[in-house]
Structure 1
């Protein structure tokens, strides 16, 4: 049973690492789905433990070993997974346990004990879910939370299946020892995750704007070109945009203002792109130039998206020392075509279309060679 419990915790560690590495890059919908999967894994882990004890004990799960293993799984998920769905699972389990006990014939006469235990348990769960780092950093706070959590669960169990006080003391002692070991591993797992997250951020994201950088763009385009060769009927579109008169911002207001403009444009495009589509990835190519790769998106659809983002950009000027600076962009758009022998031929065409938009007077868009003003 110890090996099963450790194995289930290992699975949760892998899921936690997987989400921590990728959640920042995914759409909100995809993130919610992954978090729900995490919650399902936690609930499934509890059911697996129950079924295992059921089989080993001939149809009986009235075991303190089962109780301790279940509490370890539930509490570990709270500390390791920053996930609202997992919190809901922890809140639901005691209600499920009590309801099942009543269904199986337990007496409800100690309902007030269950209500008091539930209030304590809910308070501890909600505190941990909002203060994981704070709870892990302080040994005494961690100890107090474990005592309250385990004691509340003992009260929940006692409300339907009374037992001797001696067992409560044993459970608390054993549980605290186990959870102290869990704390040791959780803190180190968090350090590893944070370390790799910092390395990933430094290698793949632009330090100033926070969006994907040139190195990540080069890596992504290799994969994109390969996917297109395998699925040539799936449209892939590139949009390149340039901040108009960017040098003037630096010359007139200073380089700090220029940096503020870059960050403002990058953040605005990134947020709106995430809100409007799951198929677009934004990169800072260099200087004031940015590139968006749209997967499974036609040039016309890409035009609608970037035009919409450009329009909202006009409504949100950069504010510097009580001065509002309206930023415009020029955009070139083209789809990857069957006669593009390599990525460079596609990129040069998009770059040329951006040049046409700028030559036509800036604050314009060129889509497959057709240049027009924004409406």
Structure 2
């Protein structure tokens, strides 16, 4: 308003503009009906008041006022279309990101996300000489569940097991992430943890899964997991070397009768 901070109309203009921002923000974060009519009504209502203050401050003729209001209404409509395009583009990107990084069934991160994460943590741990531990587990006799009760029962088992493990991990440390890397195979990355530090958490989710009672139709399913755990070695040349060692510990758990944890 012409840089005059002592003019009363300047302060009225500022307060109205702040009110415009607050009301517009509230409309933008709520999924109310009729978004465009609400948007244009708010924009025109505040716009008329703001331009009226400008008219009064600079003694503009009414013709100029209505011309500016018409231009303003046209610009507001164009801006609404632009915001809708931007919002649609953001939603598409969000959906693509979700489908590329998250497992649709269990809602944990998938193999693609694991592959990026283990590459990052592997390099970071070697460079900074940080600890890094990984656990790998799969559900014992999972094929029997599918063959006996059907794939929907197997899906329910996968969801319940992954949810249980995530609950245990999140309660301890948000940095520890569960990934579904195969059909019934999961990996857990423990950044900054030694095997000894990760062991209590592994034991906790192992016990919690064992205690699960999963209702399905008229039966109650009980499953167990086999787990392999190892830490990063300085002799590991790449993440695959690390993965293979953890996988070999998991294989040892299964070979020794399943339902057990093999630590390095």
**TM-score, with structure 2 as normaliser:** 0.78
Q: Within 5 Å, which residues of 2 pair with 1:51-62?
A: 56-58=3-5, 62=9
Contact 2:209 2:225 in 1 (8 A): no
Determine if the alignment matches structure 1 residue 214 to structure 2 residue 83. no
Partner of 1:66: 14
Deviations 1:254-283 (A, max 9, x none): 112112211222233234322321221211
Determine if the alignment matches structure 1 residue 264 to structure 2 residue 160. yes
Tell me how many residue pairs correspond in the alignment.
Answer: 245
Greater per-residue helix proportion: 1
Contact 1:72 1:179 in 2 (8 A): no
Out of 236, 243, 263, the residue aligned to residue 132 of structure 2 is: 236
Gaps of at least 5 residues in structure 2 are 51-65
Determine if the alignment matches structure 1 residue 195 to structure 2 residue 92. yes
Greater CA radius of gyration, 1 or 2? 2
Cα separation, partners in 2 of 1:317 and 1:183, compared to 1, 3 Å: farther
Deviations 1:59-85 (A, max 9, x none): 5675344234323433444345xxxxx
Deviations 1:22-81 (A, max 9, x none): xxxxxxxxxxxxxxxxxxxxxxxxxxxxxxx7x93235675344234323433444345x
Cα separation, partners in 2 of 1:297 and 1:74, compared to 1, 3 Å: farther
Contact 1:240 1:351 in 2 (8 A): yes
> Could you say what secondary structure the match of 1:330 adopts?
strand
Distance 1:202 1:134 in 2: 28
Partner of 1:288: 184
> Could you say what secondary structure the match of 2:178 adopts?
strand
Q: Within 5 Å, which residues of 2 pair with 1:270-309?
A: 270-309=166-205
> Could you say what secondary structure the match of 1:333 adopts?
strand
Determine if the alignment matches structure 1 residue 251 to structure 2 residue 199. no
Contact 1:279 1:297 in 2 (8 A): no
Gaps of at least 5 residues in structure 1 are 1-52, 81-128, 155-169, 369-375
Out of 72, 78, 89, the residue aligned to residue 26 of structure 2 is: 78
Cα separation, partners in 2 of 1:284 and 1:140, compared to 1, 3 Å: same
What's the Cα RMSD here?
3.3
**TM-score, with structure 1 as normaliser:** 0.57
Determine if the alignment matches structure 1 residue 319 to structure 2 residue 215. yes
Shift of 1:305: 1.6
